[in-house]
Amino acid sequence: EQQAALAASSGPGRTSDGFMVPLLANVGGPGDLPAALEHGAEGVGLFRTEFLFLDDSAKAPSEDKQVEAYRKVLEAFPDGRVVVRVLDAGADKPLEFLTPADEPNPALGVRGLRTLLEHPEVLRSQLRALARAAEGLSVGLEVMAPMVADREDARAFAVACREAGLDAKYGAMVEIPSAALRAGSLLQEVEFLSLGTNDLAQYTFAADRQVGSLARLQDPWQPALLDLIASAAGAAQAVGKSCGVCGEAASDPLLACVLTGLGVTSLSMGAAAIPYVRGALAQVSLAQCRQAAEAARAADSAAEARAAAQQVLSGV
Ligand code: PEP
Ligand code: MG
């Protein structure tokens, strides 16, 4: 128990039997770095770059301004990993100069990668700024695209990354059920996956993430969501590529253990949750995580899934 308490306060994420699960921070910009460092994040698993664009939603920030912000984030983790998500405009993150004003259903409209493919100059400028920001640094830079629906989307993003000559791994977010179901096909085009469980839940249950009264259907313990996570993580495992989680689900210590059992390879969350997730993982073995994942998937509701996992992982 003393050991678990120690593990909770510092060190890399790992189960009691030494299975490594990197714990990364979700950040919106340089302002979130002190908390990430303070809580011992091993890197950044989701840098939401749209926050840079919110200052003035009438136009894109200059490339120099982008370079400056990206550089600060990259410099904070000289030996770590930083996963930068290219602009995710639209739906819950509208940008005046990019987001169509007259869409009947913005969450199902032109958003995320779809926006960038319609405005390739914005994507090119982001990738160029990232390449400049990473110059001379040893950080493991990774870039990923939001709202990838199919292999064609994944390929378009991969091509843009290669054309930009960026020295970074490129990946796809899995936040649409089609992407989770056919994750193996996406992995023919990209080097890693990252599950955005907030949107994945929204699209799986057709339940708007901004409508509080639908919270029951946004619950990340929903077994249908766990099935989709298992599908994506399994496909990545089969080809030896990584599949992290960067949605809110990763910040629930018990669920973090279940995600590990489902085959997820890293967990990214708001920095304040990191010590709790680190502490939980330190108390359980990988085999227990797998057993809890199986029990949760066998349940018929979110509440039952949680209870089943809790029973297996009684110390957490
Ligand atoms: C998600 O959808 O789970 C995610 C991580 O991205 P965002 O919350 O920024 O849409
Ligand atoms: Mg999302």
Q: Give the active site residue among 161, 243, 246, 289.
A: 246
CA-CA distance, 57 to 155, in Å (whole number)?
28
Structure tokens at 189: 């085009």
CA separation, residue 252 to residues 63, 70, 176 (Å): 36, 28, 21
Mean pLDDT across 204-232: 97
Structure tokens at 252: 């629930």
In this prediction, residue 96 has a pLDDT band, given cuts at 50, 70 and 90, of confident
Mean pLDDT across 128-141: 96
Q: Which ligand is nearest to the CA of 200?
A: 1
Of 56 and 297, the one with more pLDDT: 297
Parallel, antiparallel, or unpaired: how do β-strands 192-195 and 23-27 relate?
A: unpaired
- Reply yes or no on whether the pLDDT at 8 is more than 70: no
**Where does ligand 1 bind, in terms of residues with CB under 6 Å?**
46, 48, 88, 175, 196-199, 246-247
- Please say if 161 is a catalytic residue: no
Task: Find out whether 67 and 75 touch, Cβ atoms under 8 Å.
Answer: no
Per-residue pLDDT of 178-202, as tens digits, reads 999 999 999 999 999 999 999 999 9
- Reply yes or no on whether the pLDDT at 2 is more than 60: no
Mean pLDDT across 28-34: 96
- What pLDDT score does 9 carry? 73
ipTM: 0.99
Per-residue pLDDT of 58-73, as tens digits, reads 788 999 999 999 999 9
Per-residue pLDDT of 83-93, as tens digits, reads 999 999 998 88
The mean predicted confidence, pLDDT, of the chain is: 95
Mean pLDDT across 23-33: 97
Mean pLDDT across 250-268: 98
- What pLDDT score does 5 carry? 54
In this prediction, residue 55 has a pLDDT band, given cuts at 50, 70 and 90, of confident
- What pLDDT score does 101 carry? 87
Q: How far is the CA of 5 from the centre of ligand 1 (A)?
A: 30
Q: How far is the CA of 171 from the centre of ligand 2 (A)?
A: 14
Task: Find out whether 56 and 115 touch, Cβ atoms under 8 Å.
Answer: no
- Reply yes or no on whether the pLDDT at 269 is more than 80: yes
Ligand 1 atom nearest 247 alpha carbon: 3
Task: Find out whether 103 and 109 touch, Cβ atoms under 8 Å.
Answer: yes
Percent of the chain with pLDDT strictly greater than 70: 97
- What pLDDT score does 315 carry? 87
Q: Is 85 helix (H, G, I), strand (E, B) or coil?
A: strand
- What pLDDT score does 15 carry? 98
Nearest CA to ligand 1 atom 9: 48
- Reply yes or no on whether the pLDDT at 222 is more than 90: yes
H or E element: which one contains 86? Answer: none
Q: What is the best residue among 51, 209, 246 to mutate for testing ligand 1's pocket, by most ligand atoms within 8 Å of CB? A: 246
CA-CA distance, 31 to 154, in Å (whole number)?
30
In this prediction, residue 13 has a pLDDT band, given cuts at 50, 70 and 90, of very high
CA separation, residue 160 to residues 87, 121, 142, 204, 307 (Å): 14, 11, 14, 28, 44
In this prediction, residue 4 has a pLDDT band, given cuts at 50, 70 and 90, of low
Q: Which ligand is nearest to the CA of 246?
A: 1
Ligand 1 atom nearest 198 alpha carbon: 3
Q: How far is the CA of 6 from the centre of ligand 1 (A)?
A: 31
Which is nearest to 15 in space by CA: 312, 313, 310, 286? Answer: 286
